[in-house]
Amino acid sequence: MTIDEDFKQAMLDKNEIAVSAIRNLKAEIKNTEIEKKRPLSESEVQDLVKRKVKQHKDSIESFRAGGREDLTNREQQQMEVLLKYLPKQMEEAEVRALVKEVITELSAQASDFGKVMKEVLARAKGTTDGSVVSKIVKEELK
């Protein structure tokens, strides 16, 4: 398992940020496995990583608002460690092209926001952030 290997390497490299980020992820995985009473599938682990990345993004916004750049930088670095466990994310231009394609196929109007979001996220299969899709769908449906 790559997470365990990366954890060992981070410990050997004395990379405090990576050790902390991966240790938190491993704890979250273990707790979820205990809760579900079974090992997690690959997609469940990816969902967990996505949730942890989102938590880091939220923390970054909060720390920026509070003027805590030291904590913002630490959260950013930890988030970057976790991002490598997710599939390659689509570029904004790719997301925009997918959104336009879906809008055309569905002949969507401004009131069809939910339908478009659902279809785009289904096609993207976890390779894009929902907030990015939401922003682009809103722009394209205007």
Output the DSSP codes for 81-138.
Answer: HHHTTSPPPPPHHHHHHHHHHHHHHHT--GGGHHHHHHHHHHHHTTSS-HHHHHHHHH
What per-residue confidence (pLDDT) applies to 73? 92
What per-residue confidence (pLDDT) applies to 28? 94
What's the predicted TM-score (pTM) here? 0.71
For the structural domain made of 2-83, what CATH number should be given? 1.10.1510.10
Residues 6+ apart with CB under 8 A from 124: 90, 95, 98, 133
Tell me which residue of 91, 114, 92 sits closest to 102, measured CA to CA: 114
Q: Could you report the per-residue pLDDT of 83-141, keeping only the tens digit for each?
A: 898 888 888 889 899 999 988 988 888 888 989 899 898 888 878 878 888 889 898 88
pLDDT above 90 (res 1): no
Q: Which CATH number does the domain 92-140 belong to among 3.30.540.10, 1.10.3720.10, 3.30.2090.10, 1.10.10.410? A: 1.10.10.410
As annotated, the residues of the chain forming the CATH 1.10.1510.10 domain(s) are 2-83
DSSP label of 32: H
Q: What mean pLDDT is predicted for residues 26-39?
A: 94
Q: What mean pLDDT is predicted for residues 4-9?
A: 93
Q: What mean pLDDT is predicted for residues 76-89?
A: 90
Q: What mean pLDDT is predicted for residues 48-73?
A: 91
As annotated, the residues of the chain forming the CATH 1.10.10.410 domain(s) are 92-140
Q: Could you report the per-residue pLDDT of 9-29, keeping only the tens digit for each?
A: 999 999 999 999 999 999 999
